[in-house]
Amino acid sequence: MPFHLSENELIGGSVLILSLLGLWKDQWFLANTKKGQRLTKWFGPVRAIWVLRIIFLVGMIFGALLASDIIQPIQWE
C-alpha cells in the first residue's frame, strides 16, 4: 500500500523538522550565520538565544498545525 502525503503535511512536516533542528543547533546558528550574528548584535548574547528559541518554537507549532490540517493555507483557484 503506497504512502501519500498531502502538500500541507509535507510542508508542515518540513517546517517542523527544520525548526526542531534549528532549536537543537541554536548556539551554532547564532555563532555561524549572519542572521544569528545580527540577532546577537541587536539583543545581546543572552537575549538573542531566547529570541531565536522562540522563533524556532513558533515554527514548530506552525509546522505541526499545518501538517495536521488545523491551519489551512489560502487556496487560489
What is the span of the domain harbouring residue 30? Answer: 15-67
> Is 21 within the bounds of a domain?
yes
Share of the chain above pLDDT 90, in %: 79
Contact 23, 63 (CB under 8 A): no
pLDDT tens digit sequence for 22-52:
999 999 999 999 999 999 999 999 999 999 9
Question: Which amino acid, 66?
Answer: L
> Is 76 within the bounds of a domain?
no
> Is 74 within the bounds of a domain?
no
The single residue listed with the C-alpha cell 509546522 is 63
pLDDT for position 54: 97
> Is 41 within the bounds of a domain?
yes
Number of compact structural domains in the chain: 1
**End-to-end CA separation in angstroms for the chain:** 31
Rounded (10°) angle between helices 34-67 and 7-24:
140
> Is 5 within the bounds of a domain?
no
> Is 38 within the bounds of a domain?
yes
What's this model's pTM, rounded to 2 decimal places?
Answer: 0.84
> Is 75 within the bounds of a domain?
no
What backbone torsions phi and psi does residue 59 show, to the nearest 5 degrees? Answer: -60, -40
Q: Write the CB contacts of 30 (distance below 8 Å, at least 6 apart in sequence).
A: 36, 37, 39, 40, 45, 48, 49, 52
> Is 31 within the bounds of a domain?
yes
pLDDT for position 19: 96
